[in-house]
Amino acid sequence: MINKERASLVGPPELWNIKRDVQIRFLLSKGLEKEHYLLDIGCGVLRGGVPLIKYLNETHYYGIEKDSERLEEGVKELNESGEAQKNPHLTTNCETIDRKFDYIWLYQVFIHLTDEILHDTLSIIDSFLKESGVCYATVNMGKRNQGKWKEYPHVFRSLDFYKKSAAQHNLNVDTVDDFKHSAHRNQMLKIYKKARNGAVASGVKVQIRNK
Question: What sign does the dihedral 47-204-113-183 (CA atoms) show?
Answer: negative
> Rounded mean pLDDT of 100-125?
95
Q: What's the mean pLDDT in 88-93? A: 96
Is 156 within 8 Å of 144 (Cβ atoms)?
Answer: yes
pLDDT exceeding 90 applies to what percent of the chain?
A: 67
pLDDT at 109: 92
pLDDT digits (tens, 9 = 90+) for 189-211: 999 998 754 444 545 544 433 33
Higher pLDDT, 187 or 147: 187
- Say how far apart CA 83 and CA 87 lie, in whole Å: 8
> Which pLDDT does position 208 carry in this prediction?
35
Read off the pLDDT band of 150 (50, 70, 90): low
Instruction: Give the DSSP letter of residue 206.
Output: P
Mean of all residue pLDDT scores within the chain: 87
Q: Identify the pLDDT of residue 4.
A: 86
Q: Quick: pLDDT tens for 16-71.
A: 788 889 999 999 999 999 999 999 999 999 999 999 999 999 999 999 999 999 99
Q: Residue 31 in contact with residue 207, Cβ under 8 Å? A: yes
Separation of alpha carbons 11 and 20, rounded Å: 11
Report the relative pairing of strands 38-41 and 61-64 from DSSP bridges. Answer: parallel
